[in-house]
Structure 1
Amino acid sequence: MNFNYDIIVVGAGHAGCEAAVAAANMGSKTLLITMDMNKIAQMSCNPAVGGIAKGQIVREIDALGGQMGIVSDRTAIQFRMLNRSKGPAMWSPRVQSDRMKFIATWREIIENTPNLYMWQDTVTELLLKNGSVAGVKTKMQVEFTAKAVVLTNGTFLNGLMHIGKVQISGGRVAEPASFGLSEQLRDAGFKADRMKTGTPVRIDGRSVDFSLLEEQKGDDDFHKFSYLPHVQRQLIQRSCWIANTSEYVHEALREGLSDSPLYNGQIKSIGPRYCPSIETKIVTFSQKTSHQLFLEPEGEHTNEYYLNGFSSSLPLQTQLNALQRIPAFRNVHIFRPGYAIEYDFFDPTQLYATLETKHIKNLFFAGQINGTTGYEEAAGQGLIAGINAHINCHGGNPFVLHRDEAYIGVLIDDLITKGVDEPYRMFTSRAEYRILLRQDNADERLTRKGFEIGLAKHDRIQLLDEKEAEIAKLIDFISNFSVKADRINPFLERIGTAPLKRGVKLIELLSRPHIDIETLTEEIAPLKAQVEQIPNRRDEIVESANIKIKYDGYIKREKLMADKISRLEDIRIKDKFNYNEIQSLSTEARQKLTKINPETIAQASRIPGVSPNDISVLLILLGR
């Protein structure tokens, strides 16, 4: 047994698993400490990965050489590409997962990763030395030393669960809370607060009348999360089901509001605006007489279902009464009620972009400890924290993703620059360069970066080179092949678009909204022959070429905007000013700039309360 490591990761949730595997794969001797080795990467809430903007994060994790996309594909029981009716910047992959197989697959990866070790215990204290972290101490009174520590404690720091007036100490149902670390970090100068999240009731599918629900099947095409061709969906695919509440259901819920921890003063923490509980919905949207619910299977063979949209902390009997008023659930049996949970988090403006803390050197925070919500947001942070913890131990430049490079970059920049006033959840609207940050091109944006730091392996670079070469070859053919008007006009008239008056290059036809490469291959034999020559991942390559051609103008314009802003990213101002002495700045700007101490002018410009005039003042002082 060894008690000395390069890196210790505390917590084996989605952030902790990514951090530990990344650090170990890069060469650091890593210890992953968890309370329960049988619940690694537990899906505490919904057994699903991805969704709007979150799916892009998972593809980015995979492109960099992380694991979440691989695990999600291997344990998927349903795949859907959301937002297909919108432009490709909005397309977002999502899978329904087998909860138990998800855990087992992660466990298999961790146990077979060189340099990675596990210990089952609870961390109660950080070992500190000269302003730097030196290791951890556990509940069993074991001391482990390390050059860097990554905290990914999720909802366990002083966690408290609520079901009506019932309060249970814990980080998850049937799992104990963690005490000691929050108090130590507060004493070290960290600013902490409390947040609240919740989870819905779990339902026995044998008690559901599925004939009264609307079936929602998954997609059956080439899309998935991982860019590795050998990683495929291998489980039986299952449907989800749609139900709706009614005013009759809402009446039952209102009867229990006086006992709701959210409304009787029992919970005072900050809750999620974008994933509200059912009781919050009926109060906030009182004019709505119905809310949509999704009944989602928890696994390939289980009868356990998750009722998405029915998150609640109401008393058990209130939840049950309301459910029984939905026709499909009139005879419902539940495995457990929904509950709310309060937990400690730390103001993320106390972090650098590497996710290292400003107060203690070589200490990193990732996941819900930073005020975020969601497996994907946690995993993205965990990956970056694990990478930078390794770099701090072994040397190299900090690894930071910018806002025009990745949703992960947007996420971390938002956290460290703006802080949080509610659980942070990623949306496409948070990314100003979302047409650059599409789900289809995450490998083009990030795989070479992952390879340069030693995380993504050579096989990923080879796959990327092959893909880019085939896309370029296809676009070159389409750009140079001419099509005659009399040859294509019958097809154009058949699909209801204007006929040609003269021959054009094929690329001009593709600018029309209802025409794509797939439809044209059936009409133009040389194009079909060109497509059929693509040896591997044909559908993926054709889709990518299609997007690049159709949205070329938008992509170039957004890239130009990003390049202009990136010049401000090169103007470093960290520790160059005593902002309190610059009277030409607004009072709010002086306070915010002093608190954040931004790295660059670009980061300063994104701080709420710092105006364009304040940025001009700083540029003048820099002689620009």
Structure 2
Amino acid sequence: MFNEVYDVIVVGAGHAGSEAAAAAANMGSKTLLITMSLQNIAQMSCNPAMGGIAKGQIVREIDALGGYSGIVSDTSAIQFKMLNKSKGPAMWSPRVQSDRMRFAEDWRLLLEQTPNLDFYQEMVSGLIVENGTVVGVKTSLGIEVKGRSVVLTNGTFLNGLIHIGDKNFGGGRAGERAATGITEQLVGLGFESGRMKTGTPPRVDGRSLDYSKMVEQPGDVNPEKFSYLDITKPLEKQRSCHMTYTSALVHDLLREGFDRSPMFNGRIKSLGPRYCPSIEDKINRFADKDRHQLFVEPEGWDTCEMYVNGFSTSLPEDVQFKAMRSIVGFENVKFFRPGYAIEYDYFPPTQLRHTLETKLIEGLYFAGQINGTTGYEEAASQGLMAGINAALKVQEKDPFILRRDEAYIGVLVDDLITKGTEEPYRMFTSRAEYRTLLRQDNADFRLTAKGYELGLASEKRLRRMEEKRAQSEKFVQFFKDTSITAEEANPVLEAKDSATVSQQGKMFKLFARPNIGIEDVRQFEAVENYIQEHDLDREVIEQTEIQVKYSGYIEKEKNNADKLNRLENIKIPTNFDYSKLQSMSLEAREKLNKIQPVTISQASRISGVSPSDVSVLLVYMGR
């Protein structure tokens, strides 16, 4: 294998690396996945769960494009929840609790069944670069492997440093060594690097907990699933999580160790994720709160290991243990391992193109936490995009870039490249200006055809999506065409405290009312007959309801997106020199010269570029 020249070499086998390797190999590129531990492929380093607010939408998008994260999330799930169901469908977010060991095993087996994919266990200590182009990698044993492109997905391993109280030691995660050499070489090649941190809670023995004192958190009564494929099935049985709380006493006990906390005594200077703070950070920032929620999450079907979500910490282990024993239900808790914080190197993502290829080195791609993001889902989506674009580059095909109105993945990549990040970037629905269009239920409508064109999504998947769309469109038309009498409609309307009607009207108008749902209109004989005659499944029925109820909002957002996309069509010449535009602000010129946006639309989203600066650009481009 060392004599071969690979099309794509992927360094690191976390969520980003696994998706990158699968994508490149499935697109026909000869791919090598190099990792320091083949036993830890797609390891869930932190919480045993996939999805959540905005993250669930990303997993659906990965699946629609032909990635593996949705499939593995389904096959290894122990609980399913659709979050935010009380809000509009733009906010609905699927989430699964996962069996940690099964998740990694299922990922590895899927990768092993993927054609064109080789594996090798070793630490990559450097890149082979010739004339500004990457041509391979070098391992710690001095082995050189040649490749036409390289995708770096090093996660938290680049010069990783683990902190527990006043102790610290090198490591990429608990029990695994850090990766060295790559950061220093990249900085020597002209890259800018930085440090970030993240934390993880203690893992505890579930047999030592008293669940009767906690609040049970079961899964959905009628669970759904992530993948649009019918090879996975919804869960028939589920494991519950449990909820408990910290207290004023717990907070006081934790404060006793603050002087030994690396975050408070200044040993950790890097920034952690603002939206997933450590327990000591929460106590410090929200001093007015005398308690915080904790979720006790099972690590799998059969293991007794529990993940204490909400108790991320780097305090000394004795402080962690003492405080945790004062939590309700944790009075006799036993540790499997203490929580810890980890510092690692990252590279500000403004150094990348929208393909995730670096601007400095041709053929070199970055994906995942190396770009300053946090979260499995964010990493996996970047890995997918980097793997796709590395394969396309080698095949001398046009790059694949998703717009902000096409996918949360498009929002994520665009945010990173145009805005950069100084703290670990996490996706939220609020980051997407077109979230009514980017729902979890329609990711297949948005992306499956694109995945099929890339060679990732199968024809069967494409045909299934097209049939689902045709069925839902016909069902929507049924409501527009079918009338209902006042006599038949009013009993249903009265039962829902909705204004009655005095004459016959179209069902669409009644169904569009906020307080009238699909179960209400199914009381009309014509509707139920239609569903039975056409054998409509849950996905089609749900899609129809959303299209009826939110048609006005969806249309308005489409129009807004179309207006802004006109700016996406105005290209900026490669290596354009903004310094000559003296009527533009100095800050804008500096930012634009550094980031080198491809279109006017991208330029408008860069921090420091004002609407007047965009006007100057438009005038210069003859618009």
TM-score with structure 2 length normalisation? 0.99
1:467 is aligned to 468
Whether 2:580 is the aligned partner of 1:608: answer: no
Q: CA deviation at 1:256?
A: 0.5
Which residue identity does 1:586 align to in structure 2?
S
1:70 is aligned to 71
Tell whether the 8 Å contact from 1:18 to 1:386 is kept in structure 2 after alignment: yes
Which residue identity does 2:601 align to in structure 1?
A
1:418 is aligned to 419
**Structure 2 unaligned regions, length at least 5:** none
Q: CA deviation at 1:488?
A: 1.7
Tell whether the 8 Å contact from 2:350 to 2:417 is kept in structure 1 after alignment: yes
1:562 is aligned to 561
Q: CA deviation at 1:517?
A: 2.2
2:385 is aligned to 384
Moved over 6 A (4+): none
1:535 is aligned to 535
Q: 1:274–1:7: structure 2 CA closer, same or farther, 3 Å change rule?
A: same
Tell whether the 8 Å contact from 2:125 to 2:181 is kept in structure 1 after alignment: yes
Matches within 5 A, 1:478-497: 478-497=479-498
Which residue identity does 2:581 align to in structure 1?
I
2:46 is aligned to 45
Q: CA deviation at 1:533?
A: 2.6
1:580 is aligned to 579
Q: CA deviation at 1:141?
A: 1.7
Which residue identity does 1:597 align to in structure 2?
Q
Tell whether the 8 Å contact from 1:77 to 1:96 is kept in structure 2 after alignment: yes
Tell whether the 8 Å contact from 2:575 to 2:596 is kept in structure 1 after alignment: no
Q: CA deviation at 1:255?
A: 0.5
| CA distance in structure 2 between the aligned counterparts of 1:209 and 1:530, rounded to whole angstroms | 50
Could you give the per-residue CA deviations for residues 17-53 of structure 1, whole angstroms, max 9, x where no partner exists?
0000000000000000011111100000001000000
Tell whether the 8 Å contact from 1:236 to 1:300 is kept in structure 2 after alignment: no
3-state DSSP class of the match of 2:148?
strand
Which residue identity does 1:200 align to in structure 2?
P
Whether 2:570 is the aligned partner of 1:571: answer: yes
3-state DSSP class of the match of 1:329?
coil
2:455 is aligned to 454
Whether 2:106 is the aligned partner of 1:105: answer: yes
| CA distance in structure 2 between the aligned counterparts of 1:258 and 1:301, rounded to whole angstroms | 39
Q: CA deviation at 1:230?
A: 2.3
Q: 1:142–1:235: structure 2 CA closer, same or farther, 3 Å change rule?
A: farther
Q: CA deviation at 1:576?
A: 6.2
3-state DSSP class of the match of 1:466?
helix
Could you give the per-residue CA deviations for residues 418-476 of structure 1, whole angstroms, max 9, x where no partner exists?
00010000000000000000000000000001111111110111101110111112111
Q: CA deviation at 1:491?
A: 1.9
Matches within 5 A, 1:187-586: 187-221=188-222, 223-233=224-234, 236-521=237-522, 523-535=523-535, 538-575=537-574, 577-586=576-585
3-state DSSP class of the match of 1:229?
coil
Tell whether the 8 Å contact from 1:77 to 1:238 is kept in structure 2 after alignment: yes
Q: CA deviation at 1:190?
A: 0.4
| CA distance in structure 2 between the aligned counterparts of 1:400 and 1:110, rounded to whole angstroms | 24
| CA distance in structure 2 between the aligned counterparts of 1:123 and 1:601, rounded to whole angstroms | 38
Tell whether the 8 Å contact from 1:74 to 1:235 is kept in structure 2 after alignment: no
Matches within 5 A, 1:49-60: 49-60=50-61
Could you give the per-residue CA deviations for residues 162-198 of structure 1, whole angstroms, max 9, x where no partner exists?
0000101000000000000000000000000000000
TM-score with structure 1 length normalisation? 0.99
Tell whether the 8 Å contact from 1:222 to 1:540 is kept in structure 2 after alignment: no
**Percent identity for Structure 1 against Structure 2:** 59
| CA distance in structure 1 between the aligned counterparts of 2:234 and 2:546, rounded to whole angstroms | 25
Could you give the per-residue CA deviations for residues 186-245 of structure 1, whole angstroms, max 9, x where no partner exists?
000000000000000101001101000000000132521100022124585100000111
| CA distance in structure 2 between the aligned counterparts of 1:237 and 1:550, rounded to whole angstroms | 32
Which residue identity does 2:389 align to in structure 1?
N
Of the structure 1 ranges 50-59 and 222-231, higher mean CA displacement relative to structure 2 is found in: 222-231
| CA distance in structure 1 between the aligned counterparts of 2:460 and 2:81, rounded to whole angstroms | 27
| CA distance in structure 1 between the aligned counterparts of 2:45 and 2:116, rounded to whole angstroms | 28
Which residue identity does 2:73 align to in structure 1?
S
3-state DSSP class of the match of 1:441?
helix
Q: CA deviation at 1:153?
A: 0.2
Tell whether the 8 Å contact from 2:214 to 2:328 is kept in structure 1 after alignment: no
Q: CA deviation at 1:574?
A: 3.8
| CA distance in structure 1 between the aligned counterparts of 2:195 and 2:15, rounded to whole angstroms | 21
Q: CA deviation at 1:395?
A: 1.7
| CA distance in structure 1 between the aligned counterparts of 2:3 and 2:446, rounded to whole angstroms | 39
Q: 1:113–1:234: structure 2 CA closer, same or farther, 3 Å change rule?
A: farther
1:177 is aligned to 178
Tell whether the 8 Å contact from 1:574 to 1:597 is kept in structure 2 after alignment: no
Which residue identity does 2:403 align to in structure 1?
H
**Structure 1 unaligned regions, length at least 5:** none
3-state DSSP class of the match of 1:435?
coil
**Number of aligned positions between the proteins:** 622
